[in-house]
Each structure stands twice: as structure tokens, then as C-alpha cells.
Amino acid sequence: MTDADADRDCRAAHPVERAVGMAYYVSDVDGIGGRLRADPEDFRVTEIEAFESEPVDADPGAYNHVLLRATLRDWDTNDFAAALSDALGASRERVSWAGTKDKRAVTTQLFTVRDADPEAVAAVDLGGADIEVLGRTGRDIFFGDLAGNAFEIVVRDPDAPEHVDAVTADLRAFAGVAGEGERGADGADDPADAATVGVPNYFGQQRFGSRRPVTHEIGLAVLRDDWEGAVLAYVGNPSDREPAETREAREYVEETRDWQGGLDRMPEWLGYERAMLHELAERGSSDADDFRAALETAPTNLQRLFVNAAQSALFNRMLSARLERGLPFDRPVAGDAVCFADRDAPDDLPLPDTDRTQRVDEDRVDTVTRHCERGRAFVTAPLVGTETTLAPADTEPGEIERTVLNEAGIEPADFDLPGEFHSTGTRRAVLVRTDLAVTRDPLTFEFRLPKGSYATVLLREYLKGDPDGLD
């Protein structure tokens, strides 16, 4: 962000985005409109791999996990893992992957299967899935093993494609590298002619649910020790975006607290809601322990997601407050904490190492700014947890962090919770940059993002519409 940007007004985002903390757009230019995912082939995602394996004939005692690369068309990642384990006659818990991908897309990603026969894996035949066995590993693949993702995304039927270049110019300025990699004024169709753009590193709508963004509300209720509110946010809390049958069931639960009646009305496909209602109906009482037990019927990964989503929403609000104040994202101000670049990241995809952080005081701003300009450091904000140290109260980052937490009624100690709800917290870069290439006929965006960053957060700046259309 340039100094000239500091006083600019922020363009308000769609109300559904504002509900999860994404209050503003960077670009003031009107959106291009259009549709995403008109066909799965319009949304291609390929993992940038950072996971090594041994040959297939390596010792299965030492390397008992089979590594495979799957190209999936219109597959939810969890559903594919379940189908793969069923085809192998294996427990679902033996299948791991580095990153969950969107369903209506063509995705290429890595999986491991513990204690599997490579030939049996290679022989699995699932419609819309091409499987290639790569070798053996000594452990499961995890999220941290993914460097990032490469995207090729087509926008169909844009209303105003002529706005693309103006939006790109705004995002180049925000990235703090304006003048580098500039496209021609005619928007030439050469993918190599890319522009370096930047956007706030928001957590995208998928983190919270596009049709019914509630996961953060559940997590915030848990953090406030309001287990009843957390359960009702999940099983009640109807949305106009849901089918009538689902809305009516949720409304009934909220109005009556009749758990058995709610269970009878809740659609069969809403298995987690039904499990919570069944637990409450079986217990026959409604104290805090009962509501907590009901929430804990959710899978452990979903329990973690509730608190993670709360952290994500608070982080988004901090970034929106930073935008509103006109603070830079590409360089620090006094009070910021920066993290340094991950030494093991690919050369062409700088990644922050959130284990190596440093607080910036007034005397160090210029020095650290130079590190940020060279890609050696990243300004961060907290994903709040028990080990979070807030910025000094007399600095703007400190004011932002405390204001956001006070408004939410949350403090770091609240994350000292039982089981899967506990979190020590971490930090996350506030800015994500990428080299963006845009071609026409059809309008196609090609770019790469580090792990944990969302393609839709970049695309929302161009489409500027209902986030349901981005999902």
C-alpha cells in the first residue's frame, strides 16, 4: 500500500462476507460479475508438492504408507478418501491428505494410505478419479507438507470484463510492488505477462460456510462457555439460503427446544445435527454438560474447526480494521509482529515461518521494512490462543487487537478449553501476493498461492458479488 492509499475510503463488502469479518474490498472498481464453476473443468487446482517419497519397492516395514497422486473431477476430498478406503477394504483413518479441496472442480492432490498394497491402490477404479502411485513414505502426509496450490479458474458470462485491468491495478498497488510485471494496456493474452498483485490474507467464506456461515459463531459461543448457544447455533440458526424443509426444522428447534421433535423433523442428510439432537433427546435434560456432550458428538476434526473458525473470524476482523485505518499490509508499523521467510520453502513461492517472529518497535520499522520489500519477512496478525501475546496497547496494532477481542467478548485465556477445543494460537501473514496472469475468451485467471490462502479471496475482488457464487 502506498502512502497515498492511507486516506482512501474502503469499499464495503457483501453482507455475508461482512458477517465473517471480511468487511471491505481493496479495489474500489466495480466488479466484473460472472459465474464460477459453471463446469468442474472451469476450476482447476494443482497442489505445489513438497513431500518426498521412496520407491514403490522400498522396505514396507520402514515405509508402510503408499503415496499417490489423484486427479479428481467433482469429488469432495473427504468423500474420495472414504471411497478409496472402502475400495481397499481399509479403515478411513488410514487415508491422509495435505489439503482439502473444493468439490466442483478438477483437483490434483497427494494422499497417503497406511499399510496398503501399491498394486491394489493403483487398481482402484472410481469414476472421475485418476490415481497414480508415486512411492512409499514412512508417515502420513499432513497439511504442513503442502507448499501451496496452483489455480486456473474460468469466469463465465462476466457482465463487465473491461474492469479487469483496473482491479488489477488496484491490487498491484496494494501489493506494494506497483510497476513490476505490468500488463499491457490492451490486456494482452500472454499468460507469461503476469502482474504481481496482493490482497488481505483473509480466511475465505469456505472456512465458515457459504450458504450458512455459522462455524465461527459456534466457536465463539464455546469460547464464552456458552455450550447451549453453540449447539443452537449449529442445529438451529436457520438461513434463507437453505431448503424450506431444513429451515423449518431449525426454526422448530429454536422455538420449542423439543429435541426429539427436532430430530423427527431434521432431514436425514444433516447427520451431525441429528446426532446432537439425538444426544439431547436421550439425556432428557439440558444443562451445560448435556450441551457440551451433544456438541462433542461431532467428529473431532469438526470440533477443532469450530474454534479454528472463531480464530479465523477474529483474524479477518483485525485485517478489516487495519484496512479501515489505512495501515499498510506490505510493511510494518510500530507494534507489528513480523515473521521471517521459511528457509525450506520453494524458491518461487515464499512462505512465512510463523515460528520465527519478531516484534517491531519504532526504531526497527525502517530496517524490517527493507526485509519485507525483499520477501524476507511478513507482517502478521494473531490467530488468538492461550499463548498469544498481544501487541503493545499504545500501538495501532495493539488497539486493533484489543478492540476486536473486546467486541467479541474474548480473551486469549478463553482458549484454554477441554479436548479438541483447546488452542495455543499462532500467527498468520496479513498480506498474500501472487503473480497473476489473465487471458480472455474465456476469461481465465492463473495464479499460485501459499498453503492456507484462498483463491476466492483474490477472485472476490474481481467479481464483487454474493460469495455463494464464489463457492
Which amino acids are annotated catalytic? Answer: 102
Which amino acid type is present at position 160?
A: A
Task: Determine the Cα–Cα distance for residues 320 and 314; give it in Å rounded to an integer.
Answer: 10
Task: Determine the Cα–Cα distance for residues 90 and 66; give it in Å rounded to an integer.
Answer: 13
Both ends of the chain: CA-CA distance in Å? 28
DSSP-derived 3-state class of residue 120: helix
Neighbours of 189 (CB within 10 A): 12
Which amino acid type is present at position 68?
A: L
Asked whether the beta carbons of 323 and 199 are under 8 A apart, the reply is no
Hey, which bits of 272-396 come out as E strands?
A: 337-341, 352-359, 377-383
DSSP state of 94: G
Task: Determine the Cα–Cα distance for residues 382 and 201; give it in Å rounded to an integer.
Answer: 12
Which amino acid type is present at position 129?
A: A
User: The C-alpha cell of 317 is what?
Assistant: 476482523
**Closest Cα partner for 379 from 425, 335, 320?**
335
**Conformation bin of residue 44: beta by default, left when phi > 0, alpha when psi is -120 to 50:** beta
Helix %, strand %, coil % for the chain, to 5?
A: 40, 20, 40
For the chain, how many helices (H) and strands (E)?
14, 15
Task: Determine the Cα–Cα distance for residues 100 and 230; give it in Å rounded to an integer.
Answer: 25
Hey, which bits of 189-232 come out as E strands?
A: 195-200
